A and B are shown apart, each in its own frame.
Chain A
Amino acid sequence: MKISFAKAALPAEGALVVGILENRELSATAQQIDRQTGGLISRALAASRFEGKKDQALLLVMPAGLDVSRLLLAGLGKVADIDAQAAQNFGGNALAQLLTAGDQLVTIAVDEFPGSSLSAADFAANAACGAKLRSYRFDKYRTKEKKEDKPSVKKLTVSLADSAAAKRAFAPFESVIDGVFLTRDLVSEPANVIYPESLAREAKALAEIGVDVEILGEKQMKKLGMGALLAVGQGSEKESHLVVLRWNGATDDAEAPVAFIGKGVTFDSGGISIKPAGGMEEMKWDMGGSAVVIGLLKALALRKAKVNAVGVVGLVENMPSGTAQRPGDVVTSLSGQTIEVINTDAEGRLVLADALWYAQDRFKPRVMVDLATLTGAIIVALGDHYAGLFSNDDDLATRLQAAGKQVAEPLWRMPLDEPYDKLIKSDIADMKNVGGREGGSITAAMFLKRFVKDTKWAHLDIAGVAWAKKDGPVTPKGATAFGVRLLDRLIADNYEQK
């Protein structure tokens, strides 16, 4: 779906979206249409329950007196509540109503809202961003989908007085959307297509846009001493990889980078501690953390962000086999610390342990954020609305929460206290890899903390939010790419040269 911005004028074809404020208050365009059509909108509002509340919509087919085939009256809510996120939701919800309706062209008419903190240009850019994010589909494997089930919309035009300003405001969104779509693609792909080597290849493709990509294979990792990561992959036929992505956008090459570490278990069967069969197919998205890191680096490179950023993703497949690691095995991590592997299905933290250590040792980052679909416990703790945030630094935690709030990827802080650490004491090694079901996401975070020196660090447990079971305003059901927009915002607000 192509996006463009045009001078305000009523379109001659396709579908037209017009916003209505709460209490049936008409925007300037809506008033104009109402006059031109002899009161079409007023009559429609009088005959329906539509009041202009957020998320409400009223679709009029073949509206008399207009050239378009459909007129969608979409609720804006109260003027005071209109912010960037509301505009994105507005765009996303409106597009969802029309995506498969039959029109090729959708026009969203945007007006200045007196009393709103958001300019018409910013509203337009955000609405376009929301619509584009919502338009995502992963349908490459549907070979026989009927034409009427496929999206009809090819082009979205946002019309407003100052279309040039809207176009400028939209430009940075475009890069982030590209990053989000890459992440969603990688997460949606099945595990026979995306495995460590092919995922590394996808990351390597970012070299074209200026990202420096290094790929380490098993031989190199063995030499380095990444015994924890390698143990997870040893049951699989597929070779494990560690990929380092670097975007050096700061004017000073030597400036310490911001580092992002991602868990990339391309398929998690649980290994010898095998998972129950029901729902196991979902484990293709156990590489969600690494996909977010790769998508983020793409976004940063595309918008030429003035920051030095490093991504480190540990890519493995966790399989049961004759060569797999066994419960009870003791492995030596890159840090030198030993780990008793009680449960081979608590593998993400083993991968992250080595990736975290490698990242901080080699790059001495200013801050370090890891993302992982790490624990089922976080889903019981926080559900599918919030991701869990664990951090050793209050300032970093506050910045992350602020960024998450802005892009509607909310984080909820969870404790990281010493009393939880004793739960991962091992009888024979420095630690064990599970601390029991109770407080399970906290003990997982405490485990990771043992691989963080004094670097400012945060861990995002995205197991509950990486995959949506139902449509959201800007995320269709499926891979959400939760984290890409959040971390892009974090960098833009805190770590980028102005």
Chain B
Amino acid sequence: MLSIGFTVKAGTDAVAVGVRPGPILMPTAQAADKTGMISRVLAGAHNFAGEDDDVLPICTPSGWLVLVGLGEADGQNAARLRRIGGNLFQTLAEDGIKHLDVALDLDPSETAEVAYGMRLRAWRPAAHYRSKPDPETVWTLVSASLVTRDPVACETSFGPLAARATAADLARDLVVAPANELTPDAFVKRLQDLGEQGIDVEDVDLRRHRLPLLQAVGQGSSHPPRLVVLRWMGGRDKDRPIVLVGKGITFDAGGLSIKPAEDMEEMKGDMAGAAAVAGAVYAAALRRARVNVVGVLAIAENMPSGTAGRPGDVVVGHAGLSVEIIDADAEGRLILADALSFAAERFKPRLMIDLATLTGAVEVALGHHRAGLFCSDDLLAESLLAAGEAEEEPLWRLPLTEVYDEALKSAVADLRNCVWEDGPDALHAARFLQHFVPEQVPWAHIDIAGVSEAEEDGPLGPEGATGFGIRLLDHLVADGSKG
């Protein structure tokens, strides 16, 4: 964890200064170049051109001077500044520097974005999974002061961004947690800690509220399924809430339709949708946002066993529709179906968004850069697409259409949960879910199967859990609560 502050004057012996292509030294860099050393280094350093991914630490007699490429002034935007911050942290994290002053001569809001990038990049899996830390890779950089003429303005801009980053850390911690640690019970306990921030955490009694599809998915595990409602009611009492629904399969073995062994360990991350939803509610609470936002997390473990559901079982869900479960490994849509129906009935949402690592098909369709967006409402879709671009959690809209009702027809029940033939399973899944959402509720489904974990290090995080969705959801919630 990196602690971040804002100050008027650099005071330590490690300072990062800005350089634009040219090279053009920013004022602090110029001041530091009294002896002409920076200019001499730049004349010789062919790998530093002041581009926005260039970072060059120089060891000077008075300490570390870190040249940070800012790119051309033209085209400087929040996304680029975040990446600059992320790269800066990543480059120096293990170099022995404990505290860094960052003096890039940017406006307060721009300075906040750099800090946001540093903060997002400064996450890694918790140390307690190793018996002893690897001394070579321990992060030495633990705090940074960003130098600005207006620290108060920086703090104001950074506040909500820091909330987003803190929430993203929570989600990434949850996704990384192995499934023997993060059982459904343990997940609920972790969520109960959010009560400290003023979030109302309800462990829904599943004997009183019948969610048969959620039960059917969880029945093979010795850890029974759970449904958790997180409520941040920062808005007016009469305001209908934004409802976020998350898929929280703490481990997905596939049930009796068991998955191949290879890569099955990745299935501990099949609760990333629920983690993102928890993170989004957490972010709203940290910001003390004047908005009503409700998270509904459907949590279960999908295991094969003597008590597991069988392919062919027919279950009547919370909405009253019967589902023939032909594939026990198409379980996410089952628990979401009940959660969506339950949430719509109980909370009368003004809009409802679900997130889920739902299908392999969406990975084939969109790869690992964009998540799939399915939406019943064009305005909501536009807001989500815009929030995704702004936060660099990009979405791509895919078709949500009744064309696939034919494919979802069951010989015995109202619906079957998937189709065996090779086909557009992500589209089938989205249309399946739509049957459980009341028509008048604007609804979006985001399939994050391709983006919940990164295959390689990026400027805003290491490989592995990304926390995808929190930033875009909080961005949407923040925009929505203004209006």
Contacts and interface: CB of A to CB of B under 8 A. Distances in A.
Nearest to A383: B424
Contacts of B367: 420, 423, 436, 438-439, 442-443
Contacts of A377: 364-365
A439 B399 contact: no
A440 interface: yes
B64 interface: no
Q: Most chain-A CB neighbours within 10 Å: which of B366, B368, B401?
A: B366
B259 interface: no
A381 B365 contact: yes
B364 A437 contact: yes
B365 A382 contact: yes
B262 to A, nearest CB: 14
Interface stretch (A129-137, A183-191, A409-417): A409-417
Interface string A352-378: 000000000000000000000000110
Contacts of B423: 379-380, 383-384
Nearest to B372: A381
A145 B368 CA distance: 51
B422 A439 contact: no
Interface in B408-434: 422-427
A411 B424 CA distance: 15
Contacts of B361: 380-381
B396 A386 contact: no
Nearest to A417: B369
A323 B404 CA distance: 45
Contact of A380 (B370, B396, B399, B424): B424
Nearest to B363: A438
B427 A439 contact: no
A438 B403 contact: no
Contacts of A276: none
Contacts of A115: none
Contacts of A420: 367, 369
Interface in B324-368: 361, 363-368
A439 B401 contact: no
Contact of A438 (B394, B396, B450): B450
A382 B366 contact: no
Contact of A381 (B364, B394, B401): B364
Contacts of B368: 438-439
B398 interface: yes
A385 interface: yes
Q: Most chain-A CB neighbours within 10 Å: which of B424, B425, B450?
A: B424
A443 to B, nearest CB: 7
A415 B370 contact: yes
Q: Most chain-B CB neighbours within 10 Å: which of A383, A386, A437?
A: A383
A419 interface: yes
Contact of B364 (A384, A385, A438): A438
Interface residues of B, number: 23
A156 B368 CA distance: 53
Contacts of A436: 367
Nearest to B361: A380
Interface in B106-152: none
Contacts of B365: 377, 380-382, 414, 439, 441
A364 to B, nearest CB: 31
B468 to A, nearest CB: 14
B405 to A, nearest CB: 12
Contact of B422 (A379, A382, A417, A437): A379
Nearest to A443: B367
A380 B364 contact: yes
B422 A385 contact: no
Nearest to B364: A380
A442 B366 CA distance: 7
B366 A415 contact: yes
Given A380-B422, A380-B424, A385-B403, A439 B398 contact: no
Nearest to A388: B365
B131 to A, nearest CB: 35
A380 B369 contact: no
Interface string B293-331: 000000000000000000000000000000000000000
Contacts of B370: 415, 417
B369 A381 contact: no
Interface string A397-428: 00000000000000010110101100100000
A385 B398 CA distance: 12
A381 B396 contact: no
A386 B422 contact: no
Nearest to B404: A383
B141 to A, nearest CB: 28
Contacts of B425: 380
Contacts of B364: 377, 380-381, 437-440
A377 B360 CA distance: 11
Contacts of B398: 381-382, 412
Contacts of A383: 403-404, 423-424, 427
Interface string A450-465: 0000000000000000
A420 B364 CA distance: 13
Contacts of A379: 422-424
Nearest to A418: B369
Contact of B363 (A386, A417, A439, A441): A439
A29 B296 CA distance: 58
B399 to A, nearest CB: 6
A112 to B, nearest CB: 31
Interface string B384-398: 000000000010101
B456 to A, nearest CB: 10
Q: Most chain-A CB neighbours within 10 Å: which of B364, B370, B404, B422?
A: B364
B57 to A, nearest CB: 27
B401 A419 contact: no
A166 to B, nearest CB: 31
Nearest to B370: A415
B422 A381 contact: no
B398 to A, nearest CB: 7
B360 to A, nearest CB: 9
B285 to A, nearest CB: 33
Contacts of B403: 383, 385
Q: Most chain-A CB neighbours within 10 Å: which of B367, B370, B425?
A: B367
A382 B362 CA distance: 10
B466 to A, nearest CB: 14
B10 to A, nearest CB: 35
Interface string B145-168: 000000000000000000000000
A439 B369 CA distance: 9
A382 B399 CA distance: 8
24 contacts: A377-B365, A380-B361, A380-B424, A381-B364, A381-B366, A381-B398, A381-B426, A382-B365, A383-B424, A385-B399, A385-B401, A414-B365, A417-B370, A417-B394, A419-B369, A420-B367, A436-B367, A438-B363, A438-B367, A438-B450, A439-B365, A439-B368, A442-B366, A442-B367
Given A382-B427, A415-B370, 4 more contacts: A379-B424, A382-B365, A437-B364, A438-B368
Interface of B: 361, 363-370, 394, 396, 398-399, 401, 403-404, 422-427, 450
Interface of A: 376-377, 379-386, 412, 414-415, 417, 419-420, 423, 436-443
Across the A-B interface, give the 5 residue pairs with the lowest CB-CB distance, nearest first: A439-B367, A381-B365, A383-B424, A380-B364, A419-B369
